[in-house]
């Protein structure tokens, strides 16, 4: 069952309650739906985690924790999925979202020979920022909804196949 696989790799409830960045959430972390592993809470967690991961903002984990509390998704999965964007994966992910933004806005992408010096970024901030934010919001929305649907469908398929397997074993 997907639940067993997820539990194997998921941090404990206490780990999150003791995390310095999340201590301020205190009493909100007591709601049981934040710790349940069922189809709805896991699918919502993917929705929140992937959405936050694809936003080029600081403190993605805090936003993911806040949104998980608001929509009652699994907190551990929501926050953990934010780690999709890390120092190794950020450049290609945000370059892709930047390209999506330039395509949607119909703007010209900046020169490939650009240097990411402080001066270059300072003078071209608006030209970089709007396509990046637009593309990030579009990609975050699209990919989070896709994963929400995929997780829902996979969970249903997995449960049904287990039921069929049990029925088959019982009839023999």
Percent of the chain past pLDDT 70, that is, above it, reads: 83
Between CA 105 and CA 108 the distance in angstroms is 9
Higher pLDDT, 66 or 126: 66
pLDDT digits 0-9 by tens, 89-114:
998 999 999 999 999 998 887 766 66
Between CA 110 and CA 98 the distance in angstroms is 10
Between CA 99 and CA 132 the distance in angstroms is 8
Which segment of 6-10, 81-85, 105-109, 141-145 scores lowest on mean pLDDT?
Answer: 6-10
Residue 168 maps to a domain: no
Angle at 119 between CA 116 and CA 124, to 5 degrees: 75
Contact between 54 and 89 under an 8 Å Cβ cutoff? The reply is: no
Higher pLDDT, 92 or 123: 92
Residue 38 maps to a domain: yes
Q: What is the mean pLDDT of residues 115-136?
A: 82
Residue 170 maps to a domain: no
Number of structural domains the chain divides into: 1
Residue 169 maps to a domain: no
pLDDT band at 11 (very low <50, low <70, confident <90, very high): low
The pLDDT, as a whole number, for residue 16 is: 67
The pLDDT, as a whole number, for residue 114 is: 62
Between CA 37 and CA 3 the distance in angstroms is 6
Look up the pTM and report it.
0.80
pLDDT digits 0-9 by tens, 152-166:
999 999 888 888 887
Residue 145 maps to a domain: yes
Residue numbers of the domain that contains 101: 2-163
Contact between 80 and 123 under an 8 Å Cβ cutoff? The reply is: no
3-state secondary structure of 48: helix
């Amino acid at each position: 069952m997907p639940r067993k696989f997820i539990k194997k790799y998921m941090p404990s409830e206490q780990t999150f309650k003791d995390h310095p960045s999340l201590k301020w959430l205190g009493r909100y972390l007591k709601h049981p739906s934040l710790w349940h592993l069922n189809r709805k809470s896991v699918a919502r967690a993917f929705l929140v985690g992937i959405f936050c991961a694809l936003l080029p903002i600081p403190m993605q984990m805090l936003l993911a924790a806040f949104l998980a509390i608001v929509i009652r998704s699994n907190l551990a999965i929501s926050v953990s999925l934010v780690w999709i964007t890390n120092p190794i994966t950020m450049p290609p992910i945000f370059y892709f979202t930047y390209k999506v933004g330039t395509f949607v806005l119909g703007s010209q992408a900046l020169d490939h020979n650009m240097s990411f010096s402080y001066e270059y970024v300072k003078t071209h901030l608006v030209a970089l920022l709007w396509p990046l934010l637009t593309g990030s919001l579009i990609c975050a929305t699209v990919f989070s909804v896709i994963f929400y649907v995929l997780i829902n469908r996979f969970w249903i398929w997995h449960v049904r196949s287990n039921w069929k397997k049990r029925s088959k074993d019982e009839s023999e």
